[in-house]
Structure formats: C-alpha cells, structure tokens
Amino acid sequence: MTIPPPSPTPALPLDDATAGAVVDAMIPLVGIPMAPEWRETVIANVKATAAAARLVLDFPLDDAVEPAPVFRA
Amino acid sequence: MRTSDLSAPMTAAGIAAAVAAGRLTATAAVETALAQIAALDPAVNAFTDVTAARARARAAAIDARLAAGETPGPLAGVPFAVKNLFDVEGLPTRAGAKINRERAPAERDGALVRRLEAAGAVLVGALNMGEYAYDFTGENAHDGPSRNPHDRERMSGGSSGGSGAALAAGMVPLTLGSDTNGSIRVPSAFCGTFGLKPTFGRLSRAGSYPFVASFDHLGPLARSVVDLGLAYDAMQGEDPDDPWQTPRPAEPVAGTLARGAASLRIAVAGGYFARGGEPDCFAAVRLAAEALGATRSVEIPEAARARAAAYVITASEAAGLHLDRLRVRPADYDPAVRDRLIAGTTIPAAWVHRAQRFRRWYRERVLALFDEVDVILAPCTPCRAPRIGQATIELDGVTVPARPNIGVFTQPISFIGLPVAAVPVRVGEGLPLAVQVIAAPWREDLALRVAASLEAAGVGAAQVAG
C-alpha cells in the first residue's frame, strides 16, 4: 500500500531560526566543537540539504521499493 | 626519434607505439614528461608530488626489458599521474587534506596504479584535488587551486582538478581521477579533455581514499578516446580487495572503438538537461547530435529529484566518514568542506533511507529508456569554467552558489552509476565545454564508440593550452 505523503512536506524548507535550532541541538549530540563563526555557513548548508530532501520526500514511493545498495554476505 | 617533441604532446597510444617500435625509449618519454612538469607546473599547480626517482627507475627497467627482447605492455613507457587520493607507495595518501599528510606512507600502490604499471605505464606523480573530493572547483585551501591551463585565473574543475589540468597543459598524456558526483566529467569539461566514468562497480576502488561509498567511481582522463580505451582495458578485471566491485569479467573495448555510431540509437536528453545552463552548453550537445545524425530526444524522468537525492546521500555519507576527525580537529579542514561536512552530521537517517529508495525507483525508470536508445547525450556542466574563487554562477537568470551547482547535469547520472564518456566540444572561441555520452550499465564500449565517432568527425577534440 502506498501512503500518499503530505505535500508539500510542511517543515521544509527550513527557515533560518528552525535550521539554527537544528544545528544547536544536533552539534552537541554528534560532539563536534563548532566555532561560533562557522555556524552561519553550517546553517546555510543545512537549509540547502533540507531543500534537496524536500524534493525526495515529496515523491511518493511504494513500500515495496527497496533501498538501492545491496549487501552481499 | 629518441625524444618526443615538447611543442606537440604525444598521446599515450603514440608513445606506446613508438616505444614498442624502438623509436622512443621509455626513459626519453618519462624525461619529457618530467621536463614538461618542471616547466609548466609552477604556473598550473596540477602536481602535489613528482615521483621522479621512481619513474626513472621504472622507465629504465622497461627499456632493459625491451632490450632483452621482451614484449612491452600496451602502455609501455607512457607517463601518467593520479589524483592524490590514490595510494602511491611511499607517500601518505593526501586526498587533498592537511590532516591526511600525517598518515603513514602507503605500503603499496592502489589497484589501478598497479594495473597501469603492469601494462607498462610509468607513474610520474600525484595530482592536486579538492579536499576529500567534496568540490567541483579544483580549489584547495592547503595546496592552492589547480589552475585551468587555458586561462589560469579560471577553475580547473573538481574535484579531479589536477587530473584535467595536467592533461590540458600537456604535461602527461594520461591521468586518473575519481568521480562521485561529476569529478572526472567536470574537469574534462573545464579543461577540454576526454574522460571516462565507468559503470559503478566496474573498476576496483581498492587503495584509494573514499568519499561516498554509494557513488564513488575511479576512471581515466586523456587527450584521445583511444587513450581512454587503452587505460580502461588495462584497469579492468575483478579485484578481491574491493568489496563493492561487481563480480564481472573484463570486457575490453580495444578493437571496438572504430566501429562507428551509425548503427546506434542516439538521443538527446531533454527537459531538465535542456535548461538551467548557459546557451553554449546546449549548443555543444546540438553540435554533437548533428554530427551523429541524432534527431530524437528522451526525457530522463525526475532528474531534479535524482540530483537532490544524490545531494542528500553525499552529504550524509561524507559526514559519517569524517565524523571522528570533525570531533577532534575540525579547524584543520578546508573551511568550505568542513562546514558542509558538519551540516551533513545533522541529516535525519530517514531522509537518507528515503533517498536510497528513490534511487532504486529512478534506476528502474532510467534503465527502461535503454530499451529504446543506446546512448543519451547531455551537457556536462551548466557553464564554462568560472573564475577561481567565484562563489556564484548565474543559471537561467538565477544566481546560485557555484560550488554545489556546477554538477547539476552530472549528478543525476552518476547517482545510478551509468557509464559516461565526457567529450570536449569546442563552441566558439571561449573556454572548453564537454558533452556527456551516457550508456546503459556495462556498455562503456558504446559510450566510447560514440566518443570516438565525435573525435573522428572533428567535433570532439581535446584542447591543449598553447
């Protein structure tokens, strides 16, 4: 069964404040000592990735579509 | 002839034929390359390492074998150089990074270096690249930019910038690069060289520094299609050291390149690939299509989403690869790379999973096109080489960041691992441009046949800086 995605994905693209909140929450989690002067560029990159992700997330896919990489044991 | 003419750089095939016939020694071919590097590289900055002693010893050994009556390999005496993410015995594998210079020297050459040398080629050095291959510019904060030999204030293209620049300057006839989202094809376009990004999983990646496991490819750049084919054939074959390589026997293209393109069904990619670039980029595709008699067009479905999915997967996998280093010494990265990698650590896993599922869907749709056509033509880049340091480019009247957008036409193709020959096509008097000749998986032979047809027609031609 294919569940239609919400369209457009409501939280994307991110605004500056939301992207900043994501960065401020995630960077301590992943443990990167980020200098304050890098924050603006990092936020810009998070927004760019979110804009790209929106294109992907807004495209309906059947649940039967498997991820591309195949691991051979 | 004992030495080659410095004013007219020889092709790899020309050097190998001359060495095999005894008209040129491997030593003379290597000395010519070393002299060219010494004369030209200070202004171009394509090389980060010149392995002169090793190259001279290797060339002398080849000459000794020839003198003893042994049969030389198909690349006998051909000087070549590799992007500095390939392992070279005795050198730390730099991958364009400050941090990597502290690595222990590689204990053996990368798999493709060994295969080229087994065919008689001679490594003369390692080439400049964007840090950790995360760029389309050829710029590097640590080593300085590799410069476009046609206009040294312009980008060489990335991330295999040195690989394109060394060829276009006439320093060596053959180089190796890597291509994750376009890093062989973009320098080919900006520098005016031929390039081959083989099918994903075709050539071994063993002994090379990774970027994005899902998309990384290695391949050759050269100034002729025959040279691409010679190098490609020498590098084929299964390698147990690469767990991502697809088990498949070698399928040599030697002897197939001159078969022509008349019997092939060739189409031009429309839609996404016919907009969003400077007019000359599409004029190059038209010139190629006219030369091939190709009148039909095809629509590669959802290419914009494919590019977006490649962008997400790249950002996430690259961040994952570098997380440990980002946690302890982020200030040692090239700032333009570091901030993208840090941003990549924040991407939800669900987005990446979705992008990999979209990749499966897209692959099936695009492969269906090859029921109707054999080869698809598309532009390589949306512009000619921007100025070094230029932060933005203008596409269809919209100003966009240069660094990620130079690859808009290459990313949707490497996303599903299709083989592509980049063919330099001259449009007007400006800097070089190139056309992507795209084939179905495992049909490098068809892409190279079409490239050879364009070369024979005089439409595709490498440009060496005067």
**Shortest Cα–Cα distance, B354 to chain A (Å):** 7
Q: Contacts of residue A38 in chain B, CB cutoff 8 Å? A: 330, 335, 338-339, 342
What is the pLDDT at residue B273? 98
> Which residues of chain B have a CB within 8 Å of the CB of A54?
308
SS3 sequence of chain B: CCCCCCCCCCCHHHHHHHHHCCCCCHHHHHHHHHHHHHHHHHHHCCEEEECHHHHHHHHHHHHHHHHCCCCCCCCCCCEEEEECCECCECCCCCCCCCHHHHCCCECCCCHHHHHHHHCCCEEEEEECCCHHHCCCCCCCCCCCCCECCCCCCEECCCCCHHHHHHHHCCCCCEEEEEECCCCCHHHHHHHCCEEEECCCCCCCCCCECCCCCCCCEEEEEECCHHHHHHHHHHHCCCCCCCCCCCCCCCCCCCCCHHHCCCCCCEEEECHHHHCCCCHHHHHHHHHHHHHHCCCEEECCCCHHHHHHHHHHHHHHHHHHHHHHHHHHCHHHCCHHHHHHHHHHCCCCHHHHHHHHHHHHHHHHHHHHHCCCCCEEEEECCCCCCCECCCCEEEECCEEEEHHHHCCCCCHHHHCCCCCEEEEEECCCCCCCEEEEEEECCCCHHHHHHHHHHHHHCCCECCCCCC
Q: What is the pLDDT of residue B351?
A: 97
**Is B328 a domain residue?**
no
pLDDT digits 0-9 by tens, B361-419: 999 999 999 999 999 999 999 999 999 999 999 988 899 989 889 999 999 999 999 99
Per-residue pLDDT of B31-85, as tens digits, reads 999 999 999 999 999 999 999 999 999 999 999 999 999 988 999 999 999 999 9
Residue B187 domain-assigned (yes or no): yes
* pLDDT of A1 higher than 60: no
CA angle A24, A28, A30 (to 5 degrees): 115
Q: What is the mean pLDDT of residues B120-130?
A: 98
**Residue A51 belongs to a domain:** yes
Mean pLDDT of B96-109: 98
User: Hunting for tokens 């002897």 — which residue is that?
Assistant: B255
Each residue of B30-39: pLDDT tens digit? 999 999 999 9
The pLDDT of residue B6: 39
Tell whether the model's pLDDT for residue B118 goes beyond 90: yes
Whether B263 has a pLDDT exceeding 70, the answer reads yes
Task: Indicate which residue of B4, B146, B156, B159 is catalytic.
Answer: B159
Is pLDDT above 80 for A10? no
Percent of chain B at pLDDT > 90 equals: 95
User: Is there a domain that residue A2 lies in?
Assistant: no
Could you tell me the pLDDT band of residue B4, with boundaries at 50, 70 and 90? very low
pLDDT score recorded for residue A6? 56
Whether pLDDT at A60 is above 80: yes
pLDDT digits (tens, 9 = 90+) for A32-44: 999 999 999 999 9
State mean pLDDT over A60-71.
89
Residue closest to B434 by CA, chosen among B272, B264, B280, B260:
B280
Q: Which residues have a Cβ under 8 Å from the Cβ of B327 and sit 6 or more positions away?
A: A30, A31, A32, A33
Q: What is the pTM of this model?
A: 0.96
> Could you tell me if residue B335 is inside a domain?
no
Structure confidence at residue A11 (pLDDT)? 67
Residue A23, domain member (yes or no): yes
ipTM beyond cut 0.90: yes
Residues 30-49 of A with CB under 8 A from B: 30-35, 38, 41-46, 48-49
Helical H segments across chain A, by residue range: 16-30, 39-57
In a domain, residue B117? The reply is yes
> If you average pLDDT over residues B421-432, what whole number do you get?
96
Does residue A7 belong to any structural domain of this protein? Answer: no
Whether the CB of B308 is below 8 Å from some CB of chain A: the reply is yes
pLDDT, chain B, mean: 96
Distance CA B136, CA A4 (A): 36
Nearest to B367 by CA among B291, B270, B438, B465: B438
pLDDT at B7 over 60: no
The range of the structural domain enclosing residue B417 comes to 12-307+346-456
Percent of chain B with pLDDT over 70: 98
pLDDT at B466 over 90: no
Over range B135-153, report the average pLDDT: 97
Q: Is residue B6 part of a domain?
A: no
Please check the confidence at residue A50 and state whether its pLDDT lies above 60.
Answer: yes
Residue B347 has pLDDT above 70, yes or no: yes
State residue A5's pLDDT score: 56
Task: Say what the pLDDT of residue A64 is.
Answer: 94
Asked about B159 being catalytic, the answer comes back as yes
Mutation site, B345, B352, B362, B366, interface A, largest A CB count within 10 A: B345
Instruction: Report how many domains make up chain B.
Output: 1
Sequence-distant (≥ 6) Cβ neighbours of residue A66 within 8 angstroms: B357, B360
Give chain A's domain count: 1
Confidence of residue B142 (pLDDT cuts 50, 70, 90): very high
CATH of the domain at B123: 3.90.1300.10
| B312, B327, B339 member nearest A42 (Cβ) | B339
Q: Write out the two tokens for B265.
A: 């069904």
Residue A72, in any domain of the structure? no
- A10-14, A47-51, B149-153, B458-462: which range is least confident on average? A10-14
Quick check: is B450 in a domain? yes
Residue A27's domain comprises: 16-57
Select the residue of B308, B340, B346 nearest A52 (Cβ to Cβ): B308
pLDDT beyond 70 at B5: no
Mean pLDDT of B262-280: 97
Pair B433, B425: CB distance under 8 Å: yes
Please identify which of the residues B183, B188, B224, B414 carries the catalytic annotation: B183
Residue A72 has pLDDT above 80, yes or no: no
- Specify the pLDDT at position A8: 63
pLDDT attached to residue B403 = 84
Yes or no, beta carbons of B361 and A61 under 8 Å apart: yes
Q: How many beta-carbon contacts under 8 Å exist across A and B? A: 110
Residue B327 covered by a domain: no
Could you tell me if residue A71 is inside a domain? no
The pLDDT of residue A71 is: 75
Q: What is the mean pLDDT of residues B143-152?
A: 98
